């Protein structure tokens, strides 16, 4: 068991400099936060630290700046947004490490909040540079992890920093968001009510292959949709025409098909058009009848029915990745139907977990988000956790005393 914020005595926080790793990797529309849900879910942690008189220093990444300063990926607008929602001042420091950060932390008042600049402006972040972790740990008395979405990455701020803080005698604990994720996902991992049905989709299978294998071992049924299914079609020797597919993964997909047997369920039909875009005429075709100029954009109606029947009988549902290009209305049906079927399963008592920003957005689009048992703030992290993998950003935290 890992320590959580709840385990820390208030006296420990009072006046202490606390490094809070948050996941403020939110979609921006120019300078405005387009979807603040990730920010909002970390507010209980920020509020707790502020009310106990900590000096709260927030670290986050935004996008993939590749280790250099990219002005359009500054966290400055996020500091402004955070200040409005917590109704208190949030200072922004346009610097990610070194003396300017240390000096600014030294000057902070109790109960104040500072956001420092995008950690990925520094190459050492994704490289997991120990010198960078030590630099931050130089001013951080304690560390709180609330960035579940990046907990599966071994980066300087998610892995090196908590370990360095512990070496210096401080505590490294899970914030309320991460503690909630561990609780909800941990229940599914340890003791899923059967039948356990996992549904995966999205654009690519590269990056999700390991997890698919592990889910196949744990779930009773694995439904595969989205462009990911096209790669399985390719592995079966089916024509995929102009569809998004990953030929270099056909062999792996073939192995998964053989290993999964009847537990791996692929779509039997598809919705196709001349391209996956708006305003085009669509057709439903059997998966063996996709033409050389067709692009697959969604499940076909028979597959929607088929997937819906599996979900209707499920005791546990885990869903990650849209079943089609749901941003385009003509290709949204498979994804919205899966969202609705999952919500109906939850209504009659199934545990339903949705991971990934795109799938969560689809659940909101379908108007069913409030009926879902748990919507994870992580996509890849939630899948890795449910696959039974250890997440570096959680492993690095302090262990709680055995009771």
Contact residues toward ligand ADP (CB under 6 A) are: 201-204, 226-227, 244, 276, 296-297, 320-322, 324-325, 327, 356-359, 379
226 catalytically annotated: no
Of 76, 193, 204, 254, which is the active-site residue? 204
Q: Could you count the other beta carbons within 10 Å of the beta carbon of residue 112? A: 17
Smallest distance from the beta carbon of 207 to ligand ADP, in angstroms? Answer: 8
Nearest residue (beta carbon) to ligand ADP: 202
Binding partner of residue 327 among Mg ion, ligand ADP, none, CB cut-off 5 to 8 Å per kind: ligand ADP
Smallest distance from the beta carbon of 243 to ligand ADP, in angstroms? Answer: 6
Binding partner of residue 175 among Mg ion, ligand ADP, none, CB cut-off 5 to 8 Å per kind: none
254 catalytically annotated: no
- Looking at the Cβ atoms of 7 and 327, the one nearer to ligand ADP is 327
Of 149, 160, 260, 380, which is the active-site residue? 380
How distant, in Å, are the alpha carbons of 105, 151, 395 from that of 135? Answer: 13, 20, 21
Residue reference for tokens 């803080």: 165
Binding partner of residue 104 among Mg ion, ligand ADP, none, CB cut-off 5 to 8 Å per kind: none
Residue reference for tokens 């320590």: 3
How long is the chain?
403
Nearest residue (beta carbon) to Mg ion: 358
Q: For 19, phi and psi rounded to 5 degrees?
A: -85, 120
279 catalytically annotated: no
What are the helix and strand counts (H, E) for the chain?
Answer: 17, 17
263 catalytically annotated: no
- Residues near Mg ion, by CB under 5 A: 358
Binding partner of residue 244 among Mg ion, ligand ADP, none, CB cut-off 5 to 8 Å per kind: ligand ADP
Q: Which of 45, 161, 46, 154 is nearest to 96 (CA)?
A: 161
- Looking at the Cβ atoms of 65 and 160, the one nearer to Mg ion is 65
Smallest distance from the beta carbon of 382 to Mg ion, in angstroms? Answer: 13
Please return the burial class of 114, using the count of CB atoms within 10 Å of its CB with bins 0-12, 13-18 and 19+: buried
Task: Return the beta strands (E) in 161-315 as ranges.
Answer: 172-174, 196-200, 221-224, 264-265, 269-273, 283-286, 295-299
Of 357, 378, 379, 393, which is the active-site residue? 357
Binding partner of residue 392 among Mg ion, ligand ADP, none, CB cut-off 5 to 8 Å per kind: none
Both tokens assigned to 125? 């972040």
Of 38, 120, 163, 166, which is the active-site residue? 38
- Looking at the Cβ atoms of 207 and 291, the one nearer to Mg ion is 207
- Looking at the Cβ atoms of 23 and 358, the one nearer to Mg ion is 358
Smallest distance from the beta carbon of 385 to ligand ADP, in angstroms? Answer: 14
- Looking at the Cβ atoms of 267 and 378, the one nearer to Mg ion is 378
* Cα–Cα distance for residue pair 302/305, rounded to 1 Å: 5
Q: Which of 401, 399, 378, 388 is nearest to 151 (CA)?
A: 378
Smallest distance from the beta carbon of 381 to ligand ADP, in angstroms? Answer: 11
- Beta strands 32-33 and 28-29, pairing class: antiparallel
Helix 250-260 × helix 226-235 angle, to 10°:
90
Query: What kind and span of H or E run contains 11?
Result: helix 10-13
Smallest distance from the beta carbon of 272 to ligand ADP, in angstroms? Answer: 9
Q: Which of 35, 23, 95 is nearest to 61 (CA)?
A: 23
Helix 209-218 × helix 250-260 angle, to 10°:
0
- Looking at the Cβ atoms of 117 and 358, the one nearer to Mg ion is 358
Binding partner of residue 118 among ligand ADP, Mg ion, none, CB cut-off 5 to 8 Å per kind: none
- Looking at the Cβ atoms of 141 and 298, the one nearer to ligand ADP is 298
Q: Which of 267, 392, 253, 377 is nearest to 320 (CA)?
A: 377
Query: What kind and span of H or E run contains 114?
Result: strand 113-116
Binding partner of residue 65 among Mg ion, ligand ADP, none, CB cut-off 5 to 8 Å per kind: none
Smallest distance from the beta carbon of 12 to ligand ADP, in angstroms? Answer: 37
Binding partner of residue 321 among ligand ADP, Mg ion, none, CB cut-off 5 to 8 Å per kind: ligand ADP
Smallest distance from the beta carbon of 115 to Mg ion, in angstroms? Answer: 24
- The upper half-sphere exposure of residue 113, i.e. CA atoms within 13 Å in the direction of its Cβ, equals 28
- Looking at the Cβ atoms of 165 and 383, the one nearer to ligand ADP is 383
199 forms beta bridges with: 223, 319
Which residues are known to be catalytic? 38, 204, 357, 380
């Amino acid at each position: 068991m890992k320590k959580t914020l709840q385990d820390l005595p208030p006296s420990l926080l009072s006046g202490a400099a606390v490094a809070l790793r948050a996941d403020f990797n939110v979609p921006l529309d120019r300078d405005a936060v387009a979807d603040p849900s990730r920010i909002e879910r970390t507010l209980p942690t920020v509020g707790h630290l502020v009310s106990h008189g900590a000096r709260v220093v927030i670290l986050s990444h935004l996008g993939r700046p590749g280790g250099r300063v990219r002005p359009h990926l500054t966290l400055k607008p996020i500091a402004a947004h955070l200040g409005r929602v917590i109704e208190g001042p949030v200072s922004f420091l346009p610097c990610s490490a070194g003396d300017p950060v240390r000096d600014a932390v030294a000057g902070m008042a109790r109960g104040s909040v500072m956001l420092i600049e995008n950690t990925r402006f520094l190459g050492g972040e994704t490289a997991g540079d120990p010198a960078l972790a030590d630099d931050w740990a130089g001013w951080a008395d304690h560390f709180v992890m609330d960035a579940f979405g990046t907990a599966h990455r071994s980066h300087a701020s998610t892995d090196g920093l908590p370990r360095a803080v512990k070496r210096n005698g401080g505590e490294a604990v899970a914030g309320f968001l991460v503690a909630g994720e561990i609780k909800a996902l941990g229940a599914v991992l340890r003791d899923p009510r059967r039948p356990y049905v996992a549904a995966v989709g999205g654009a690519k299978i590269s990056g999700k292959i390991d997890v698919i294998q592990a889910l196949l071992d744990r779930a009773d049924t694995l439904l595969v949709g989205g462009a990911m299914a096209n790669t399985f079609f390719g592995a079966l020797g089916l024509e995929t025409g102009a569809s998004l597919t990953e030929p270099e993964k056909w062999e792996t997909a073939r192995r998964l098909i053989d290993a999964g047997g009847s537990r791996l369920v692929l779509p039997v039909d598809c919705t196709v058009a001349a391209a996956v875009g708006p305003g085009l005429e669509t057709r439903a075709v059997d998966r063996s009848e996709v033409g050389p100029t067709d692009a697959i954009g969604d499940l076909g109606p028979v597959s929607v029915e088929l997937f819906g029947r599996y979900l209707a009988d499920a005791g546990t549902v885990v869903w990650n990745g849209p079943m089609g290009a749901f941003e385009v209305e003509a290709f949204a049906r498979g994804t919205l139907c899966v969202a609705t079927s999952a919500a109906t399963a939850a209504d009659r008592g199934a545990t339903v977990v949705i991971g990934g920003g795109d799938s969560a957005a689809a659940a909101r689009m379908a108007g069913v988000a409030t009926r879902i048992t748990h919507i994870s703030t992580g996509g890849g992290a939630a899948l890795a956790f449910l696959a039974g993998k250890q997440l570096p950003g959680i492993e690095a935290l302090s262990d709680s005393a055995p009771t």
